[in-house]
Amino acid sequence: MAAANKRTLSGIEDVRDRKAKVIKDSGEKRHIAALILARGGSKGIPLKNIKMLAGVPLIGWVLRAAVDSKQFDSVWVSTDHDDIEKVAKAWGAQVHRRSPEVSKDSSSSLDTIQEFARLNPEVDVICHIQATSPCLHPFHLKEALEMITKQGFTSVLSVVRLHHFRWQEVKKGGSVATQPLNLDPCNRPRRQDWDGELCENGSFYIYTRATIERGLQGGKWAYYEMLPEYSVDIDVDIDWPVAEQRVLRFGYFGLDKPEVVRLLLCNVSGCLTDGRVLISVSGEEMVSVNTRDTMGIRMLQRERVEVILISSSEDLLTKALADNLSQRTGCEVRQLGKDIQGEVKAMMDDKDLDWKEVAYMGNDAPDVDCLNLAGLSAVPRDAPVVAINAAKYSCHSAAGLGAVREFSEHILLLKKKAKSQMEQDRIHRNTF
């Protein structure tokens, strides 16, 4: 974990800020709330805040970081849209249903934050987190909040250090010469000889109630510097593929380390297959299995992840079909009854496994409990909403068309990332 730099900007504390400090010093705990603004009427990308990014709704990345930071007395999403509200609640947030007055295209973030503060008088400090910053980690929030709670600042904003040479803009067709804004062209510095400039990265802003009530004027300001790899901000659709690659490498995937996954339980119908059963004239049942999915299973097996294919009582496989699937995939095929969670738990007990060591791939309402409990869980792209909301990863691929391969690659990527982090931690321990 790289240590972030913190510096005071400017500002003068007023009477309200000194009163807030007196309350803190007297031992009374302040209520700190995380607030994510997620209006439904995004102009750049429709419903951008719940669009899937690397298998997770965009807003889910910052909600997971906020909840897991354990720094907040409450975590909120402010929205005017029903679908965003459902996703927010599924990811552990309370919902502030904003008024029409602050849901207009012309409404500012400050308007909404002030409305939230007015309706929630118990809140003393608000951490406004941008939903469009999916590489935010809990340690960023913890360290920045300590600048408020321990160092006495009244406002903290996140920044990133950039090494960009800027020039004055000139209107097209004009004859006015442009001028350099932050460099001498005759003495252009090398990157290593220039500290660069600090720019807002839009990840989060933390304010005391007093600062919000006076329109963000005055007070004692500070910045929290984040490294460039964590400074991702999505505004337009063209940012999406770049952000997806960045978040897979630098995003926060939860408290449990993914390298502990030792077992994948995967539904046959609706995950490995598209859910259809073909019946021949002679009555023989057939299903279609994609070779990409079977290759994904073998990739996991090579990394010592056991894969068991499961079939529920509602999708019973014939013994011949189960035997053929087992032979083709190299996996055990198990028939489960109506109590899927109970039978999965018994299976885990037999193998001495905990939920965090299990990855589960389901596709419908009967799988919801297991999707919620498993350390890693996924659903195909065409799964119903009830399953998508319970899963930790939503595949781009549909059932029977590469979804199992995609989830297998996701598991292996997280294992690789975790092993790399463990190696880095070992190097740091041996160095210092």
Banded pLDDT at 429 (limits 50, 70, 90): very low
- Return all residues near 26 (Cβ < 8 A) that are at least 6 apart: none
What is the pLDDT at residue 110? 93
Q: pLDDT per residue over 373-393, tens digit each?
A: 998 899 999 999 889 888 888
Top mean-pLDDT range of 183-197, 227-241, 414-428: 183-197
| Residue at token pair 């999916």 | 134
Residues with Cβ within 8 Å of 334's Cβ and at least 6 positions away in sequence, in order, are: 308, 309, 310, 311, 347
Mean pLDDT of 145-156: 95
pLDDT at residue number 233: 81
> Looking at residue 431, what is its pLDDT?
42
Per-residue pLDDT tens over the stretch 49-99 = 998 888 788 999 999 999 999 999 999 999 999 999 999 998 999 999 999
pTM over 0.75: no
User: Contact at 8 Å (CB) between 399 and 293?
Assistant: no
Q: Half-sphere exposure (CA, 13 Å, Cβ side) for 11?
A: 20
pLDDT surpassing 50 at residue 288: yes
Mean pLDDT of the chain: 85
pLDDT at res. 420: 61
Q: Is the pLDDT confidence value at 296 over 90?
A: yes
Residue 358: pLDDT over 70: yes
**What's the confidence (pLDDT) of residue 62?**
96
pLDDT score of 24: 47
pLDDT tens, residue by residue, 15-54? 444 444 434 444 568 999 999 999 887 666 778 899 888 8
7 is catalytic: no
User: How many of the other CB atoms lie within 10 Å of CB of 216?
Assistant: 15
- Model confidence over 109-128: pLDDT tens digits? 999 999 999 999 999 999 99
Region for 397 from its dihedrals, namely left if φ exceeds 0, alpha if ψ lies in -120 to 50, beta otherwise: beta
Q: Which residue has the higher pLDDT, 232 or 2?
A: 232
Q: Annotated catalytic residue: which of 118, 166, 188, 426? A: 188
Per-residue pLDDT at 250:
86
pLDDT at 18: 43
Q: Report pLDDT for 398.
A: 93
- Could you tell me which residues come within 8 angstroms of residue 321 by beta carbon, excluding any fewer than 6 positions away? 285, 286, 287
